[in-house]
């Protein structure tokens, strides 16, 4: 991914993940893997954690301690 240097990387990654959730590529209850996303986008896990925190605040994902972050379901 080519990043816009004027915007934080985590914001740009969040936009990609939001689009994947909206399109159904990441269905309800899909695991959002920090490790896989960090490798895919070639960023640190700290950057991915900022992105997951923003998506969690927006209600798009739910994080369960010890299990990970998942796409929120309509019944959650």
**Per-residue tens of pLDDT for the chain, all 76 residues:** 899 999 999 999 999 999 999 999 999 999 999 999 999 999 999 999 999 999 999 999 999 999 999 999 866 4
Close Cβ partners of 43 (under 8 Å, ≥ 6 residues apart): 9, 10, 13
Give the burial class of 23: count Cβ atoms within 10 A of its Cβ; 0-12 exposed, 13-18 middle, 19 or more buried. exposed
Residue 2 lies in a domain: no
Q: Identify the three-state secondary structure at position 57.
A: helix
pTM equals 0.91
Residue 18 lies in a domain: yes
Task: Output DSSP code: residue 60.
Answer: S
Residue 76 lies in a domain: no
What is the number of structural domains in the chain? 1
DSSP β-bridge partners for residue 61: 71
Question: Residue 36 is part of which domain span?
Answer: 9-71
């Amino acid at each position: 991914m080519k990043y816009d240097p004027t915007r934080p990387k985590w914001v740009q990654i969040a936009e990609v993940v939001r689009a994947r959730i909206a399109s159904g590529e990441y269905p309800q209850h899909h695991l959002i893997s920090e490790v896989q996303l960090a490798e895919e986008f070639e960023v640190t896990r700290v950057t991915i954690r900022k992105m997951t925190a923003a998506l969690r605040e927006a209600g798009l994902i739910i994080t369960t301690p010890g299990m990970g972050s998942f796409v929120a379901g309509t019944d959650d």
